[in-house]
Chain A
Amino acid sequence: MPLQPLRDDKGNVIPHNHPDILPEHGVIRRISEHFLVRDEKTEGQRISSMAFKPSTGVNGGLSVDLKHEIESAGHDARTYVTTPRWVGSVIFQAGPLRGEGFMIGADPIEASAEADANPYHGEVWGNFTTGKQRRLRRLCEWFVPLEGVSLDG
Protein backbone atom coordinates (compact mmCIF):
# COMPACT_ATOMS: atom_id res chain seq x y z
CA MET A 1 0.00 0.00 0.00
CA PRO A 2 1.41 3.42 -0.93
CA LEU A 3 2.56 5.70 1.84
CA GLN A 4 -0.16 7.83 3.31
CA PRO A 5 0.68 11.52 3.69
CA LEU A 6 -0.02 13.89 6.51
CA ARG A 7 -3.16 15.92 5.74
CA ASP A 8 -4.91 18.91 7.25
CA ASP A 9 -8.60 19.05 8.20
CA LYS A 10 -9.54 19.80 4.60
CA GLY A 11 -7.63 16.85 3.25
CA ASN A 12 -4.76 18.86 1.81
CA VAL A 13 -1.35 17.28 2.07
CA ILE A 14 0.80 19.33 4.38
CA PRO A 15 4.61 19.38 4.41
CA HIS A 16 5.94 16.51 6.45
CA ASN A 17 8.92 14.24 6.84
CA HIS A 18 7.47 10.79 6.34
CA PRO A 19 9.06 8.38 8.82
CA ASP A 20 8.89 5.49 6.37
CA ILE A 21 11.09 7.28 3.85
CA LEU A 22 14.45 6.18 5.16
CA PRO A 23 17.74 8.07 4.65
CA GLU A 24 18.98 5.55 2.09
CA HIS A 25 15.77 5.61 0.04
CA GLY A 26 15.90 7.03 -3.46
CA VAL A 27 14.02 10.19 -4.40
CA ILE A 28 13.62 10.52 -8.17
CA ARG A 29 13.07 13.74 -10.09
CA ARG A 30 11.96 13.39 -13.72
CA ILE A 31 13.78 15.62 -16.18
CA SER A 32 11.76 16.82 -19.13
CA GLU A 33 13.57 17.79 -22.32
CA HIS A 34 12.21 21.28 -21.73
CA PHE A 35 14.56 21.59 -18.75
CA LEU A 36 17.72 21.24 -20.85
CA VAL A 37 19.87 24.21 -21.81
CA ARG A 38 23.04 24.61 -23.88
CA ASP A 39 26.16 26.01 -22.26
CA GLU A 40 28.93 27.53 -24.38
CA LYS A 41 31.45 26.83 -21.64
CA THR A 42 31.06 23.08 -21.95
CA GLU A 43 29.80 23.10 -25.53
CA GLY A 44 27.11 20.75 -24.34
CA GLN A 45 23.78 20.57 -22.59
CA ARG A 46 22.99 20.67 -18.89
CA ILE A 47 19.92 20.80 -16.66
CA SER A 48 18.41 24.21 -15.98
CA SER A 49 17.87 25.33 -12.40
CA MET A 50 14.16 25.39 -13.32
CA ALA A 51 14.15 21.62 -12.90
CA PHE A 52 14.73 22.18 -9.18
CA LYS A 53 12.19 24.89 -8.43
CA PRO A 54 9.08 23.95 -6.44
CA SER A 55 5.49 24.57 -7.34
CA THR A 56 3.85 27.62 -5.81
CA GLY A 57 0.49 26.21 -4.74
CA VAL A 58 -0.63 25.76 -1.17
CA ASN A 59 2.08 23.69 0.49
CA GLY A 60 3.76 23.35 -2.89
CA GLY A 61 7.00 21.46 -3.11
CA LEU A 62 9.22 19.78 -5.67
CA SER A 63 7.46 16.82 -7.25
CA VAL A 64 9.34 13.53 -7.04
CA ASP A 65 8.80 9.79 -7.31
CA LEU A 66 9.56 7.58 -4.31
CA LYS A 67 11.76 4.75 -5.58
CA HIS A 68 11.29 2.39 -2.65
CA GLU A 69 7.51 2.64 -2.95
CA ILE A 70 7.58 1.98 -6.70
CA GLU A 71 9.75 -1.10 -6.24
CA SER A 72 7.77 -2.36 -3.24
CA ALA A 73 4.73 -2.42 -5.50
CA GLY A 74 6.59 -4.66 -7.93
CA HIS A 75 7.43 -2.08 -10.60
CA ASP A 76 10.77 -1.38 -12.21
CA ALA A 77 11.50 2.17 -11.13
CA ARG A 78 13.36 3.17 -14.30
CA THR A 79 10.53 1.96 -16.47
CA TYR A 80 7.95 3.57 -14.21
CA VAL A 81 9.44 7.07 -14.34
CA THR A 82 10.20 6.89 -18.06
CA THR A 83 6.78 5.75 -19.20
CA PRO A 84 5.28 7.03 -21.38
CA ARG A 85 7.58 9.82 -22.49
CA TRP A 86 9.60 11.38 -19.69
CA VAL A 87 13.02 11.26 -21.14
CA GLY A 88 15.33 11.32 -18.16
CA SER A 89 15.55 11.45 -14.40
CA VAL A 90 17.93 12.10 -11.56
CA ILE A 91 17.99 10.54 -8.13
CA PHE A 92 18.78 11.81 -4.64
CA GLN A 93 19.13 9.97 -1.41
CA ALA A 94 16.64 11.10 1.22
CA GLY A 95 19.30 11.51 3.91
CA PRO A 96 21.41 14.20 2.19
CA LEU A 97 18.27 16.05 1.12
CA ARG A 98 17.14 16.20 4.72
CA GLY A 99 20.65 17.29 5.60
CA GLU A 100 20.03 20.39 3.48
CA GLY A 101 16.96 21.14 5.58
CA PHE A 102 14.35 19.70 3.24
CA MET A 103 11.39 17.56 4.25
CA ILE A 104 10.37 14.56 2.13
CA GLY A 105 6.88 13.17 2.23
CA ALA A 106 4.22 11.34 0.30
CA ASP A 107 1.70 13.08 -1.92
CA PRO A 108 -0.09 10.48 -4.03
CA ILE A 109 -1.78 11.78 -7.18
CA GLU A 110 -5.23 10.50 -8.00
CA ALA A 111 -6.28 10.03 -11.60
CA SER A 112 -8.11 13.00 -13.10
CA ALA A 113 -9.01 14.39 -16.47
CA GLU A 114 -5.65 16.14 -16.53
CA ALA A 115 -3.31 13.68 -14.89
CA ASP A 116 -2.71 9.97 -14.54
CA ALA A 117 -2.63 8.46 -11.09
CA ASN A 118 0.74 8.27 -9.39
CA PRO A 119 0.44 6.62 -6.00
CA TYR A 120 4.21 6.86 -5.53
CA HIS A 121 4.37 10.62 -5.99
CA GLY A 122 6.10 12.56 -3.26
CA GLU A 123 7.15 16.09 -2.51
CA VAL A 124 10.30 17.75 -1.28
CA TRP A 125 9.44 20.77 0.83
CA GLY A 126 11.68 23.50 2.10
CA ASN A 127 13.30 26.81 1.34
CA PHE A 128 14.47 26.59 -2.27
CA THR A 129 16.93 29.46 -2.35
CA THR A 130 19.12 29.89 -5.41
CA GLY A 131 22.04 28.47 -3.48
CA LYS A 132 20.08 25.39 -2.42
CA GLN A 133 18.82 24.81 -5.95
CA ARG A 134 22.46 24.68 -7.05
CA ARG A 135 23.40 22.35 -4.21
CA LEU A 136 20.51 20.10 -5.19
CA ARG A 137 22.12 19.63 -8.59
CA ARG A 138 25.34 18.60 -6.89
CA LEU A 139 23.53 16.13 -4.62
CA CYS A 140 21.88 14.14 -7.39
CA GLU A 141 23.12 11.64 -9.92
CA TRP A 142 21.60 10.32 -13.07
CA PHE A 143 18.92 7.65 -12.70
CA VAL A 144 17.81 7.53 -16.32
CA PRO A 145 20.66 9.42 -17.98
CA LEU A 146 20.34 11.67 -20.96
CA GLU A 147 23.25 11.20 -23.32
CA GLY A 148 25.44 14.27 -23.63
CA VAL A 149 23.73 16.15 -20.80
CA SER A 150 25.90 17.22 -17.88
CA LEU A 151 24.82 17.49 -14.26
CA ASP A 152 27.41 20.21 -13.68
CA GLY A 153 26.60 23.87 -13.96
Chain B
Amino acid sequence: MTMTQCVGSSTTSATSSTSKVVSIASARPRTLISENASVWNEEVSNRLQDLIRLNYGWDGYNARPVGFVNATFALQMLNNICGPATPAPQIVPGVNGDLQLEWHTLQGDIELHVEGPNNVHAWRALVGDLDGEELNLTVDFAAIAQWVRDITEPPIAAATAA
Protein backbone atom coordinates (compact mmCIF):
# COMPACT_ATOMS: atom_id res chain seq x y z
CA MET B 1 0.00 0.00 0.00
CA THR B 2 1.25 3.50 -0.73
CA MET B 3 0.18 7.04 0.03
CA THR B 4 -1.52 6.94 -3.37
CA GLN B 5 -4.26 4.82 -1.87
CA CYS B 6 -4.45 6.93 1.24
CA VAL B 7 -5.19 10.27 -0.33
CA GLY B 8 -6.94 9.38 -3.56
CA SER B 9 -7.01 12.65 -5.48
CA SER B 10 -3.27 13.17 -5.21
CA THR B 11 -2.34 10.13 -7.24
CA THR B 12 -0.24 12.00 -9.77
CA SER B 13 2.18 13.62 -7.37
CA ALA B 14 2.58 10.42 -5.40
CA THR B 15 3.43 8.50 -8.56
CA SER B 16 5.90 11.16 -9.60
CA SER B 17 7.67 10.98 -6.27
CA THR B 18 7.73 7.20 -6.47
CA SER B 19 9.60 7.43 -9.74
CA LYS B 20 12.21 9.64 -8.17
CA VAL B 21 12.88 7.23 -5.36
CA VAL B 22 13.11 4.20 -7.63
CA SER B 23 15.60 5.95 -9.88
CA ILE B 24 17.70 6.95 -6.88
CA ALA B 25 18.15 3.32 -5.93
CA SER B 26 19.30 2.28 -9.38
CA ALA B 27 22.91 1.62 -8.37
CA ARG B 28 21.81 -0.94 -5.81
CA PRO B 29 19.30 -3.76 -5.75
CA ARG B 30 15.97 -2.02 -6.09
CA THR B 31 13.11 -2.09 -3.67
CA LEU B 32 10.17 -1.36 -5.91
CA ILE B 33 7.15 0.33 -4.42
CA SER B 34 4.17 -1.97 -4.56
CA GLU B 35 1.53 -3.53 -2.37
CA ASN B 36 3.27 -3.89 0.90
CA ALA B 37 2.49 -6.55 3.47
CA SER B 38 4.92 -5.12 6.03
CA VAL B 39 3.88 -4.83 9.62
CA TRP B 40 4.52 -1.08 9.66
CA ASN B 41 2.82 0.02 6.47
CA GLU B 42 -0.76 0.41 7.63
CA GLU B 43 0.21 2.13 10.88
CA VAL B 44 2.52 4.52 9.05
CA SER B 45 0.00 5.28 6.31
CA ASN B 46 -2.73 6.02 8.83
CA ARG B 47 -0.46 8.28 10.85
CA LEU B 48 0.67 10.18 7.75
CA GLN B 49 -2.91 10.69 6.70
CA ASP B 50 -3.63 12.23 10.10
CA LEU B 51 -0.59 14.49 9.93
CA ILE B 52 -1.31 15.94 6.50
CA ARG B 53 -4.74 16.89 7.84
CA LEU B 54 -3.51 18.78 10.88
CA ASN B 55 -4.93 22.23 11.34
CA TYR B 56 -2.79 25.29 10.81
CA GLY B 57 -1.35 26.25 14.18
CA TRP B 58 -1.61 22.72 15.59
CA ASP B 59 1.38 23.42 17.88
CA GLY B 60 -0.24 26.44 19.51
CA TYR B 61 1.74 28.80 17.29
CA ASN B 62 2.06 28.91 13.49
CA ALA B 63 2.81 25.30 12.52
CA ARG B 64 1.61 24.00 9.17
CA PRO B 65 0.29 20.50 8.53
CA VAL B 66 2.75 17.96 7.16
CA GLY B 67 3.17 18.44 3.43
CA PHE B 68 1.79 15.72 1.18
CA VAL B 69 5.01 15.55 -0.82
CA ASN B 70 7.04 15.12 2.35
CA ALA B 71 4.69 12.41 3.63
CA THR B 72 4.88 10.55 0.33
CA PHE B 73 8.65 10.76 0.27
CA ALA B 74 8.86 9.49 3.86
CA LEU B 75 6.71 6.48 3.04
CA GLN B 76 8.79 5.61 0.03
CA MET B 77 12.01 6.04 1.95
CA LEU B 78 10.66 3.61 4.53
CA ASN B 79 9.94 1.13 1.76
CA ASN B 80 13.61 1.36 0.86
CA ILE B 81 15.11 1.08 4.32
CA CYS B 82 12.74 -1.17 6.27
CA GLY B 83 12.14 -4.86 6.08
CA PRO B 84 8.68 -6.37 6.33
CA ALA B 85 9.12 -7.10 10.03
CA THR B 86 10.63 -3.75 11.00
CA PRO B 87 8.60 -2.13 13.75
CA ALA B 88 6.75 0.99 12.66
CA PRO B 89 8.58 4.23 13.36
CA GLN B 90 6.92 6.92 15.38
CA ILE B 91 6.18 9.93 13.22
CA VAL B 92 6.38 13.44 14.62
CA PRO B 93 5.26 16.46 12.62
CA GLY B 94 7.44 19.54 12.28
CA VAL B 95 6.26 23.12 12.25
CA ASN B 96 7.33 23.69 8.63
CA GLY B 97 5.36 20.89 6.97
CA ASP B 98 8.30 18.58 7.61
CA LEU B 99 8.28 15.40 9.70
CA GLN B 100 10.56 13.10 11.64
CA LEU B 101 10.60 9.30 11.76
CA GLU B 102 11.82 7.96 15.09
CA TRP B 103 12.72 4.63 16.67
CA HIS B 104 13.58 4.47 20.35
CA THR B 105 14.43 0.88 21.24
CA LEU B 106 16.46 -0.85 23.91
CA GLN B 107 19.42 -0.81 21.53
CA GLY B 108 19.36 2.89 20.69
CA ASP B 109 17.64 5.81 19.01
CA ILE B 110 17.22 6.91 15.41
CA GLU B 111 15.70 10.15 14.16
CA LEU B 112 15.23 10.76 10.44
CA HIS B 113 14.20 14.36 9.85
CA VAL B 114 12.55 14.66 6.44
CA GLU B 115 13.00 18.34 5.73
CA GLY B 116 11.89 17.81 2.15
CA PRO B 117 12.11 15.19 -0.61
CA ASN B 118 15.72 14.02 -0.90
CA ASN B 119 16.63 16.20 2.06
CA VAL B 120 16.97 14.06 5.17
CA HIS B 121 18.97 14.74 8.31
CA ALA B 122 19.65 11.46 10.09
CA TRP B 123 20.85 11.02 13.67
CA ARG B 124 21.38 7.93 15.73
CA ALA B 125 22.80 7.06 19.10
CA LEU B 126 23.36 3.55 20.29
CA VAL B 127 22.86 2.91 23.99
CA GLY B 128 25.74 4.46 25.92
CA ASP B 129 26.66 6.89 23.14
CA LEU B 130 25.68 10.33 24.42
CA ASP B 131 26.41 12.34 21.27
CA GLY B 132 25.49 9.95 18.50
CA GLU B 133 26.31 10.43 14.84
CA GLU B 134 24.70 12.45 12.08
CA LEU B 135 24.33 12.17 8.33
CA ASN B 136 22.79 14.42 5.72
CA LEU B 137 21.19 12.26 3.04
CA THR B 138 19.83 13.00 -0.39
CA VAL B 139 19.69 9.93 -2.60
CA ASP B 140 21.50 7.06 -0.89
CA PHE B 141 19.79 5.61 2.16
CA ALA B 142 21.82 2.42 2.54
CA ALA B 143 23.52 3.66 5.69
CA ILE B 144 20.29 4.28 7.55
CA ALA B 145 18.86 0.96 6.41
CA GLN B 146 21.71 -0.61 8.38
CA TRP B 147 21.06 1.74 11.30
CA VAL B 148 17.45 0.62 11.43
CA ARG B 149 18.45 -3.04 11.38
CA ASP B 150 20.99 -2.39 14.13
CA ILE B 151 18.44 -1.13 16.62
CA THR B 152 15.29 -2.98 15.64
CA GLU B 153 16.54 -6.52 15.13
CA PRO B 154 17.69 -8.82 17.92
CA PRO B 155 21.52 -8.66 18.19
CA ILE B 156 22.07 -12.14 16.68
CA ALA B 157 19.77 -11.47 13.74
CA ALA B 158 21.43 -8.10 13.05
CA ALA B 159 24.89 -9.69 13.04
CA THR B 160 23.74 -12.35 10.62
CA ALA B 161 22.19 -9.78 8.28
CA ALA B 162 25.39 -7.73 8.30
Which residues on A are within 8 Å of B, measured CB to CB? 30, 32, 34-35, 37-41, 48-50, 53-57, 60, 63, 81, 86, 109, 114-116, 118, 121, 130-131, 153
- Interface contact A37-B104, CB-CB below 8 Å: yes
Measured between C-beta atoms, what is the minimum distance from A43 to chain B in Å? 10
Cα separation A116 to B55 with both chains bound (whole Å): 13
- Chain B CB within 10 A, most for which of A32, A63, A114, A131: A32
Partner of B92, one of A50, A54, A56, A131: A50
- Given A34-B54, A38-B104, A41-B127: A48 in contact with B59 (beta carbons within 8 A): no
- Interface contact A115-B56, CB-CB below 8 Å: yes
Closest-by-CB residue of A relative to B51 is A34
- Interface contact A41-B106, CB-CB below 8 Å: yes
- Interface contact A49-B111, CB-CB below 8 Å: yes
- Interface contact B95-A53, CB-CB below 8 Å: yes
Cα separation A32 to B51 with both chains bound (whole Å): 13
Measured between C-beta atoms, what is the minimum distance from A128 to chain B in Å? 11
**Those of B99-148 within 8 Å (CB) of chain A:** 100, 102, 104-106, 109, 111, 113, 115, 121, 123, 127, 131-132, 134
* A-B pairs under 8 A by CB, number: 79
Cα separation A37 to B104 with both chains bound (whole Å): 8
Cα separation A130 to B111 with both chains bound (whole Å): 11
A41 neighbours in B (Cβ, 8 Å): 104-106, 127
Closest-by-CB residue of B relative to A114 is B56
A153 neighbours in B (Cβ, 8 Å): 104, 109
Interface residues in B, total, Cβ within 8 A: 31
- Interface contact A121-B106, CB-CB below 8 Å: no
A57 neighbours in B (Cβ, 8 Å): 96
Measured between C-beta atoms, what is the minimum distance from A41 to chain B in Å? 6
Measured between C-beta atoms, what is the minimum distance from B48 to chain A in Å? 13
Partner of A40, one of B56, B61, B105, B131: B105
- Interface contact A30-B59, CB-CB below 8 Å: yes
Partner of A30, one of B54, B61, B94, B104: B61
A56 neighbours in B (Cβ, 8 Å): 96, 115
- Interface contact B56-A121, CB-CB below 8 Å: no
A63 neighbours in B (Cβ, 8 Å): 59-62, 95
- Interface contact A115-B57, CB-CB below 8 Å: yes
Cα separation A81 to B117 with both chains bound (whole Å): 34
- Interface contact A48-B102, CB-CB below 8 Å: yes
Cα separation A71 to B82 with both chains bound (whole Å): 49
- Interface contact B92-A34, CB-CB below 8 Å: yes
B113 neighbours in A (Cβ, 8 Å): 50, 53
Cα separation A56 to B70 with both chains bound (whole Å): 15
- Chain A CB within 10 A, most for which of B61, B92, B134: B61
B36 at the A/B interface (Cβ < 8 Å)? no
- Interface contact B90-A50, CB-CB below 8 Å: no
